Amino acid sequence: MKRRAFLYAATISAIAVTGSAALVQSSGTPEGTAAPITTGAVLQGLDKVTARISTFEVPFDRLVAFGSLTIQVRACHKTPPTEAPESTAFLEIEESFENGPDRQVFTGWMFASSPAVSALEHPVYDVWVVDCIKASSSDVESSG
């Protein structure tokens, strides 16, 4: 199980370096079936003190506050509809303090189907990936 998770994480890291076009070409999906274009990620956060779960959308390269955490999504990949459903996001999470500088608490890929593979370890908050935000058809047409 650990080996499969490691191989999956290595594959996702390779995708981040080479781009999502390489994923579509090497994954064996039928031609014309591409991964959806995304504009951010849908995340959930748990405040362990109040036991409240919050769902929030984070567009790429925008800062979103969750308690004392500041979350930034750099990338989000979703598998094409012809493959098993999976969403992965590259997150940067910092913790802010009233006295002192911010501290980086997490940087890396999180997997929607396996949050424990790469998890935020924090005494007060849990954050995990739910899905990617799909680009609307008008966004795709205006960008291309």
Whether 43 is covered by a domain: the verdict is yes
Whether 92 is covered by a domain: the verdict is yes
d(CA 21, CA 1): 28
Whether 93 is covered by a domain: the verdict is yes
At residue 111's C-alpha, the angle toward residues 105 and 116, to 5°, is 65
Q: What is the per-residue pLDDT across 124-139, written as a single tens digit (0 to 9) for each?
A: 999 999 999 987 754 4
Whether 128 is covered by a domain: the verdict is yes
Higher pLDDT, 23 or 59: 59
Q: Which stretches of 19-136 are DSSP H helices?
A: 20-26
pLDDT at residue 13 is higher than 70: no
At residue 124's C-alpha, the angle toward residues 121 and 129, to 5°, is 55
Residue 13's Cβ-count burial label (10 Å; 0-12, 13-18, 19+) is: middle
Whether 144 is covered by a domain: the verdict is no
Mean of pLDDT values over 20-47: 65
Instruction: Give the DSSP H/E element, type plus range, for residue 22.
Output: helix 20-26
Whether 117 is covered by a domain: the verdict is yes
Q: Give residue 30's pLDDT band: very low, low, confident or very high (50, 70, 90).
A: very low
pLDDT at 28: 42
pLDDT at 40: 94
Q: What is the per-residue pLDDT across 34-86, written as a single tens digit (0 to 9) for each?
A: 667 889 999 999 999 999 999 999 999 999 999 999 999 999 999 988 999 99
Residue range of the domain that includes 101: 2-136
Q: How many domains does the chain have?
A: 1
Whether 142 is covered by a domain: the verdict is no
Q: Look over the chain and give the mean of its residue pLDDT values, rounded to a whole number.
A: 79
pLDDT at 17: 41
Secondary structure class of 67 (helix, strand, coil) = coil
d(CA 57, CA 39): 10
pTM: 0.70
